[in-house]
Structure 1
Amino acid sequence: MPPETDARVARANQLIDDEPTAAHPRGPFGRMEQLCSALSRHLPARGVGVSVLTEDTYSGGTVAASDAVSRRLDELQFTLGEGPCIDAYATRRPVFEPDLFGHGSSRWPGYAAAAQDEGVRAVFAFPLTIGTARAGALDVYRTQPGPLTKGAVSQAMTFAEIAMGLLLDTQAESTTGSERSADLDDALAYRLEVYQAQGMVMVDLGVSLDEAMVRLRAHAYANDRSLADVARDVVQGSLRMSQDNP
């Protein structure tokens, strides 16, 4: 890395190190939550969340967040199938929405309305990438509309770079049999359930895979539940989708 990059990453890591650890779990996701809290505090922002996604963006999971509201807003994107995290991952570029009341409402109608209900007025997403690899996105939530400064964008991108490194470290640990290797699998275990539920709904209703996912998301949204919880109920047999159900 160039010296200025080294210094920038070192400063960001120091802010993460200085963040209190008592409220966070041990292991890589404990540090990821420290990262979210540190960025939220120093940017400043209403909150920060980090999520990982699959290639088709049908499912994903929030692995860390600075607070409960940020976690809910990150997770809601997977229920609705829309939002800054998904767009940043898909395009591999930062996504800036400084006005959720205006342009954001047409960009992500369901998500923007839910974010506004939580007092969020602007959201910015930074993809987690290295080379051609991508893993997810880091979302920044703010209560005031308006763009980020250049300095804030640079700081958020640095934290996204560190977050990607933490995910890669976790993945590397999973190949060594370390006790930390289960963390990522546990955080994203419901991916398989989402795919299983999608297939079951496709067969039950005689619809396409895409339509099956739409049905699952519609049911989750209509009942104020997460996509993961609805998928689990379908797989376990406690929920049977019908033509008239969401």
Structure 2
Amino acid sequence: MTVDRRRESLWRAIAAVTGAPGQPEWASAVCRASVRLVPGIDAAALTLRATRRAQDLLGVSDDWAGELDSQQYTLGEGPGVEAFATGIPELVADLGAGQGRWPGFCDAALAAGAGAAFAFPLQLGGIRLGTLDLYRRRVGGLPPGSVADAAVLADLITLALLHEIGNAEASGHDWLRAAGSYHDVNVATGMLAGMLRISLDDAFMRLRGRAFVANRPLLEVARDLLEKKLDADELNE
């Protein structure tokens, strides 16, 4: 199959996914399609990123992918974080060999049963939206064809999301608030910053530190704060 025909085939597969781009059901369906379309992949996650603090998990192929992407968010490191920062795909064939770069994430990923991870930035020119993160349970790299297919999928997903963002801006609909799994973290960060009179970055680092010490997902800690199960004074250190 020629490159153009393969790209067209991938485009049809993404276009066939029902729902609106950015909505959880669409994003998760796209992740499941990515697992089917890229040989050697066991799971996928689609994450929007603005900064290391501001990001939203749009969808996952399964709970395992969600757990792995949650670890990147909680720890602030990993192939997805790096790929977004640099705009260059991160292809990690052996997470055990990546512990020098991302010790926290690699330890957590290995414990969760991951052997390799591959992150592709969602970008168009100077616009960078997030990453498509692909995981596999066994150690080993992807063949060139699979890498090419994953890069094309990332491009197609980017185009679909940019189209949805344009429609949302025209209609005034905040689709990210409805779609993003980490919205509660953003709200909790703002609330903690106001209560303790600190910056948003400081508030976020305190939530992240609490999650790390307690060995819990950052999202859970944020929800504890919102639900008043966690007192802000406990984070005033």
TM-score, structure 2 as length reference: 0.84
For residue 243 of structure 1, report the CA deviation from its aligned partner: 6.6
Structure 1 match to 2:179: 187
State yes or no: 1:70 paired with 2:65.
yes
1:93 pairs, out of 78, 88, 91, with: 88
Superposed, which structure 2 residues align to 1:44-83 within 5 Å?
44=39, 45-54=41-50, 56-83=51-78
Inter-partner Cα distance in structure 2 for 1:245 and 1:113: 29
Deviations 1:125-171 (A, max 9, x none): 00000010000001110112122111111000011011111211221
Between the aligned residues of both structures, percent identity stands at 32
In structure 1, what residue type is equivalent to 2:20?
G
CA-based RMSD = 2.7
Structure 2 residues not aligned, in runs of 5+? none
Tell me the CA shift for residue 86 of structure 1. 0.9
Q: State the alpha-carbon separation in 2 of the partners of residues 145 and 43 from structure 1.
A: 16
Aligned counterpart, 1:114: 108
Secondary structure of the structure 2 residue equivalent to 1:107:
coil
Q: Is the 8 A contact 2:189 2:203 kept in 1?
A: no
Match of 1:219 in 2: 210
Once the two structures are TM-superposed, the CA of residue 15 in structure 1 deviates from its matched residue by: 3.2
Read off the aligned partner of 2:74 and give its amino acid letter: T
CA distance in 2, matches of 1:121, 1:164: 27
Task: Check conservation: 2:42, 2:135, Cα contact below 8 A.
Answer: yes
Are 2:161 and 1:167 equivalent residues in the alignment?
yes
- Of 15, 27, 38, 2:13 maps to 15
Which residue is 1:123 aligned to? 117
Cα deviation, 1:218-239, whole Å, max 9, x if unaligned, reads 2123334332332344355442
Instruction: Work out whether residues 193 and 200 of structure 2, in 8 Å CA contact, stay in contact via their aligned partners in 1.
Output: yes
Matching residue within 142, 145, 158 for 1:148: 142
Aligned equivalents of 1:11 and 1:5: distance in 2?
A: 10
1:60-103: CA deviations, max 9, x gaps?
1110111111012112211111111111111111111111112x
Q: Structure 1 residue 107: deviation in Å?
A: 1.5
- 2:25 matches 1:27: no
SS in 2 for 1:225: coil
Structure 1 stretches of 5 or more lacking a match?
none
Q: In structure 2, give the amino acid aligned to 1:31.
A: W
Return the letter of the residue paired with 1:124: F
When residues 194 and 58 of structure 1 are mapped into structure 2, their CA distance, relative to the original with a 3 A threshold, is farther
CA shift, 1:216, in A, is 1.1
1:40 partner SS: helix
Sort the Cα spacing of 1:197 and 1:117 in 2 relative to 1 into closer, same or farther, 3 A. farther
